[in-house]
Amino acid sequence: MPRAWLPALFLALPLAAHAEGRVRAQLVSPNQTTLSAEIAARLVELPFREGQAFTVGQTLAGFDCALFTAQRDKMEAQEELAAQGLETANKLHARGLSSDMEWHQAQSKLKETAADAQAARATASRCAIVAPFDGRVAKLGVAQYQFVTAGTPLMEIVDTRKLEVQAVVPSHWLAWLRVGDVITLRVDELKRDYQARVTRLAARIDAVSQMAPVVGEIEKTSPELLPGMSGWATFRGRR
């Protein structure tokens, strides 16, 4: 085929596909995030490797927190002591045996130690990172027993159960496309068809390309489907 025909052929293929109600689409997970360390400590627990599945609430990373738990215990002991001091100050003040200043100082002391204890508990609670949703480890960025600082990215996690189909369609399709319309996605990597339904339509149209984003959701959980897979999406609601 002469080279002059090639550009016309590449342009004709998408146009023909659009005429058939087909566009390219990609699978995307609505739940994916990078988990980072919130404290500076040694990483002593890293139970999941790349590709392994976990459930919500499971520990994904644990740190050596002997120092932080000791500080928490110390602050809680000081809070308890300040509470006892205020109790005594209340009795003395009621009997006129202490000044207003001493009474207010005891109140302030309890507030101060209570705030310190709360801060220590918050820090100690960061000694373990638990899974925010069911998913799989997409990428590990650290190793067990490594010392990390606050903000160090630890791992990328992704929910592979409820996947979205993201596509960009000609803007004139919005005249007939509706939420709930059926999408048949032919996944390139698996050579199989999967059914989805439109869940969201574009909020605006690209003025240059006259294309609009459309999002659907795979109806049935299929463990073989992974974020990043792509294929042809056929919209059955077309008329």
Residue 7: the pLDDT is 38
Do 171 and 231 reside in the same domain of the chain? yes
Burial track 195-231 (b if 16+ CB lie within 10 A, e otherwise)? ebbbeebbeeeeeeeebbebbbebeeeeeebbbebbb
Q: For residues 12 and 167, give the distance between their C-alpha atoms in angstroms, rounded to a whole number.
A: 19
- The CATH number of residue 148's host domain is 2.40.50.100
Looking at the domain assignment, is residue 80 inside a domain? Answer: yes
Q: For residues 193 and 232, give the distance between their C-alpha atoms in angstroms, rounded to a whole number.
A: 9
Do 152 and 101 reside in the same domain of the chain? no
Do 200 and 140 reside in the same domain of the chain? no
Q: Which residue has the tokens 């302030």?
A: 108
- The CATH number of residue 212's host domain is 2.40.30.170
Q: For residues 69 and 120, give the distance between their C-alpha atoms in angstroms, rounded to a whole number.
A: 8
Q: For residues 184 and 139, give the distance between their C-alpha atoms in angstroms, rounded to a whole number.
A: 30
Do 138 and 165 reside in the same domain of the chain? no
Looking at the domain assignment, is residue 85 inside a domain? Answer: yes
pLDDT (tens, 9 = 90+) of the chain, 239 residues, equals 444 433 333 334 455 556 567 899 999 999 999 999 999 999 999 999 999 999 999 999 999 999 999 999 999 999 999 999 999 999 998 888 889 999 999 999 999 999 999 999 999 999 999 999 999 999 999 999 999 999 999 999 999 988 999 999 999 999 999 999 999 999 999 999 999 999 999 889 999 999 999 999 999 989 999 999 999 999 976 55
pLDDT, tens digit, 9 for 90 and up, residues 73-120: 999 999 999 999 999 999 998 888 889 999 999 999 999 999 999 999
Looking at the domain assignment, is residue 59 inside a domain? Answer: yes
| Residue of 230, 229, 237 whose CA lies nearest to 201 | 237
Which residue range(s) make up the domain with 206? Answer: 21-31+160-235
Looking at the domain assignment, is residue 104 inside a domain? Answer: yes
Looking at the domain assignment, is residue 200 inside a domain? Answer: yes
Looking at the domain assignment, is residue 109 inside a domain? Answer: yes
Residue 1: the pLDDT is 40
Do 230 and 175 reside in the same domain of the chain? yes
